[in-house]
Chains A and B, each alone.
Chain A
Amino acid sequence: MSHGLGSGYDLSAGTYSQDGRVFQVEYAAKAVENSGNAIGIRGRDCVVLGVDKPRVSEMLVRAAPKNATLSQNIGMTSAGLVADCRTLANWCREECRSYKNQYHTEIPVRVLSERLSLEMQEHTTTSYYRPYGATVILGGFDEDHTKPQLFMVEPSGKSFGYRACSCGMNQSPARTELEKLDLPNLGAEEAVMTVARILHQIHDESKNLAFELELSWACAATGFRHVPVPPELLARAEEAAKRFLEERDHA
């Protein structure tokens, strides 16, 4: 019997603790909090997803992409164990594909988030599985392109729709920043600038790790497809974010 937080009830997702908790699920949430940050914003007719990728080595030329396109109009970003995130991205892609094969329309973002949450919840019920150590933010448009959609699915299987959401190491300060925004009136470019600024702002400087910013979006300008933000706009957004931080430090 191990000693510590779980007192022996934390070794399997198949067992409750005596006060009704499933520690493995909570540890999975901890895994998310140990990783970089991811943010999703649903602005006016746009969805912007952003993530910061710590530079793990000075020899790394460019970090692998973390935002993933799942179907034409849906993208995801995530925080947590990178390998779990990739597995979930592939799982979602397969789900989008099978939905389209079956119904001949693109899967609505809400339906995808519900199916993903079922998949993740299933990994919290038996000792056979380790719960996914990843929180996934799904964003994009449904086939009718009428309304931007944003959902976040957590390791426990919880899934909600958001106007803006954050996950990762600094999710709380990020949320504080997001709450200040006038989201329904945020245009696409403005939203890109904002996501870049917040990701720079919340970055934990004490750890002094360099990081790379990755942004993707879906809006009228992209034909409602989920694509990476063009490099030119990304550079502009980063520059503005750095300038903002400098000005803040001077003040």
Chain B
Amino acid sequence: MDAPITRTLEPINTGTSVVGITYKDGVLIASDTLVSYGSLSRFRSIQRLVSIGPCLIGASGDYSDFQHITDLLTQKVDEASFHQDGFQYTAPELFEYLCRVMYERRSKVNPYWNRVVMAGSKQGKPFLGCVDLYGTHYASPTVATGYGEQLAQPILRKEWHPDMSLEEAHALLEKCMRVLLYRDCYTINKVQFARIGLDGQTTIEPPAPLTGTRWEAPLTITLP
């Protein structure tokens, strides 16, 4: 008897939350640098935010699938540039392509096990989109994946406003990453920020530990 065809039932090497917001001059996204292996903090300095042509992407979920997605998009962007006819993909175009790829894979019941955040600009305005392993996608000024969906998104929606400065945006994302550090088992205190300006200029900051975490709370707890 033929054995049933099996597909990825669960991801193995996984990255956790990516959070992103638009600000007045572009988009800022952040993630930690951990790739977990089950519950083991296996790879602790992996850059999960990648610059590809006109956009910046980051993803939670399976890291090998994410490597394939970046290869796929890089190839797409490169091949367009070889024709040297002045055409360049914009971030929303590339995002739409990615969404189709994600949906195609889910339709083959073999999804890329990721939730991908894509940042760039669209007609002089910041663009920030998110697509999951089913191909469900949306664009939004605040985006969070993984645990961030539960823990960071409410904070972002409450405190975000469209004319934020870079410093304000940075502080807001730091706040979210701090909460995630407190409440997500599979994260580490090594966080990376990356931004893309309206001109497509990408800056990926070196990873650094979060400062200002507070642990005094336990001191106030007393046993009965």
Chain A interface residues (CB < 8 Å from chain B): 65, 68-72, 93, 97, 100, 227-228
B: interface residue count bin: under 10
Contact B84 A72 (CB under 8 A): no
Complex alpha-carbon distance, A70 and B75, angstroms: 13
Given contact pairs A65-B84, A97-B75, A100-B75, enumerate 15 new A-B contacts (beta carbons under 8 Å). Answer: A65-B85, A68-B82, A69-B81, A69-B82, A69-B83, A69-B84, A70-B82, A71-B78, A71-B82, A72-B78, A93-B79, A93-B82, A97-B79, A227-B84, A228-B84
Q: Residues of B contacting A227 with CB < 8 Å?
A: 84
Chain B interface residues (CB < 8 Å from chain A): 75, 78-79, 81-85
Complex alpha-carbon distance, A100 and B75, angstroms: 10
Q: Residues of B contacting A70 with CB < 8 Å?
A: 82
For residue B166, give the distance in angstroms from its CB to the closest CB of chain A: 28
Q: Residues of B contacting A72 with CB < 8 Å?
A: 78
For residue A53, give the distance in angstroms from its CB to the closest CB of chain B: 15
For residue B188, give the distance in angstroms from its CB to the closest CB of chain A: 28
Q: Residues of B contacting A69 with CB < 8 Å?
A: 81-84
Q: What secondary structure prevails in chain B residues at the interface with A?
A: helix
Complex alpha-carbon distance, A70 and B81, angstroms: 10
Complex alpha-carbon distance, A71 and B84, angstroms: 12
For residue A71, give the distance in angstroms from its CB to the closest CB of chain B: 7
Complex alpha-carbon distance, A228 and B85, angstroms: 11
Closest residue of A by beta carbon distance from B74: A100
Complex alpha-carbon distance, A68 and B82, angstroms: 7
Task: Find the residue from B78, B82, B83, B85 having the highest chain A CB count within 10 A.
Answer: B82
Complex alpha-carbon distance, A227 and B83, angstroms: 10
Closest residue of A by beta carbon distance from B82: A69
Q: Residues of B contacting A93 with CB < 8 Å?
A: 79, 82
Complex alpha-carbon distance, A68 and B81, angstroms: 11
Q: Residues of A contacting B82 with CB < 8 Å?
A: 68-71, 93
Complex alpha-carbon distance, A70 and B78, angstroms: 10
Q: Residues of B contacting A100 with CB < 8 Å?
A: 75
Q: Residues of B contacting A71 with CB < 8 Å?
A: 78, 82
Complex alpha-carbon distance, A146 and B78, angstroms: 22
Complex alpha-carbon distance, A68 and B75, angstroms: 17
Closest residue of A by beta carbon distance from B78: A72
Complex alpha-carbon distance, A234 and B81, angstroms: 21
Q: Residues of A contacting B79 with CB < 8 Å?
A: 93, 97
Q: Residues of A contacting B81 with CB < 8 Å?
A: 69
